[in-house]
Structure 1
Amino acid sequence: MNIACLGWGSLIWKTEALPVEGSWLTDGPQVPIEFSRVSDGGELSTAICLNGATVPVLWARLATDSLPAACEALRQREQIPAERTDGVGRLVVGESATGPLSQWARQNQLDAVIWTALPPRFALLEGRTPSVEEAIAWLAGLRGEQQQHARDYIEQVPAQIDTPYRRAIKQQLGWG
């Protein structure tokens, strides 16, 4: 089984337990991504944001032919609790699979695609997307190491993840 993982944030530069084969490629599918999830470290990380603008994400083939093993490796890398069922997204490419992601996967001769599927999170509310003003206020309110960590995160996210929030953060805070 030929399996790929999609990425748009720290997974790119910190793969850890994920068995990436080769390097991350920049010609991934268009996915609605935004800086919309306050992570445990305080940074405003990237997440799928269904009402966000689409950007071309990165992707890498995985050195496993087992979809359950690939999903488990991604779950561990993202530190998603085992009881949480919504943290890893997957698409198995088959005769009945349709849509842009299926087309992209077929063009790249993939049998399956996985990705981190954690939703936006703001003000401790899972599923809540901050407004751009709230996002900037959150980042501007961080101090010391936490602020530096948040800035480093934004600056390490690949440039092709060029979202409206990222442009506003750069304009107003000078980050990234």
Structure 2
Amino acid sequence: MNIVCIAWGSLLWKPGPLKLASGWHPGGPLLPLEFARDSDDSAELALVLCPGVPLVPTYWAYVDAPDLDTARAMLAAREKITPGHPESIGSIPAIDGAPVQQEIAAWLRGRRIDAAIWTALPPKFAGVGGRMPSAEEAVGLLSRLSGETRAAAEFYLRRTPPHIDTRYRRLVEARLGWRPLREAAVTCPA
């Protein structure tokens, strides 16, 4: 079974327990992404799926897993998602009637790929799941950080590939000067 992971954020440079069978390739599906999830265990404002925002490019890589359940479990472990929240890992084929990300379904059509997985966490702000911060709230959160916490949040945003160009990212760049790192380009196999 050919299984791919669709990614856009820190998975690109820190896959952790997600075993990949290839490097990351550009040309993944265009998805509605924004820096809109404050993390429970770090200071970053993570890039997540946000219905209604402009579509941006993503990456894809083959996953080294014999089946979809194993691939989903690896991604859940990497994202620290507990078994009680299977909806936080998206997949095609979907499990248990979970909604399908239509942009990914359309991207898979016509390719010789059997299945796809992705992180399906929603926006979250000020401890409220599903709450999309305003652009001002997002920049305000990042601007109030200091020390190592600020450095970690800045690294996450700056390390994200530059062509993942969102409204909030442009505002952070303008206000905080956090421009993409030169090494932010994803290295793909030849």
State the shift of 1:57 in Å: 0.7
User: For the residues of structure 2 that align with 1:168 and 1:68, how far apart are their CA atoms?
Assistant: 39
Deviating 4+ runs (over 2 angstroms): 97-103
> Which runs of structure 2 are paired with 1:2-151 in the superposition (5 Å)?
2-39=2-39, 40-92=41-93, 100-151=103-154
Query: Within the alignment, does 1:156 sit opposite 2:155 as a pair?
Result: no
Give the whole-Å Cα distance in 2 for the aligned partners of 1:150 and 1:42: 5
- 1:135 Cα offset (Å): 0.3
TM-score between both structures, scaled by the size of structure 1: 0.93
Q: Deviations over 1:95-150 (max 9, x none)?
A: xx995423321333111111001111101001101000000000000011000000
- Partner Cα separation in structure 1 for residue 156 and residue 166 of structure 2: 15
Report SS of the residue matched to 1:114: strand
**Is the partner of 1:83 in helix, strand or coil?**
coil
> In structure 2, do the counterparts of structure 1 residues 148 and 116 end up closer, same or farther at CA, with 3 Å as the change threshold?
same
Per-residue CA distance 1:23-72 (angstroms, 9 max, x = gap): 10110001100000001201111000112111011111111230000000
Looking at structure 2, the residues matched to 51 and 120 of structure 1 have their Cα atoms a distance apart, in angstroms, of 12
Q: Counterpart of 1:46 in 2: which secondary structure?
A: strand
Tell me the TM-score normalised to structure 2 length: 0.86
**Matched pairs, number:** 173
Gaps of 5+ in 2: 95-99, 180-190
The one-letter code sitting in structure 1 at the alignment partner of 2:134 is S
Secondary structure at the residue paired with 2:132? Answer: coil
RMSD: 1.7
Q: Partners in 1 of 2:162 and 2:17 — Cα distance?
A: 24
Distance in 2 of aligned mates of 1:118 and 1:80: 9
Q: Percent identity?
A: 40
- Tell me the distance in 1 between the aligned counterparts of 2:101 and 2:31: 16
- Partner SS for 1:20: coil
> Which residue identity does 2:166 align to in structure 1?
T
Q: Compare the two structures and name the one with the higher strand fraction.
A: 1
**8 Å contact from structure 1 (residues 57, 160) kept in 2:** no
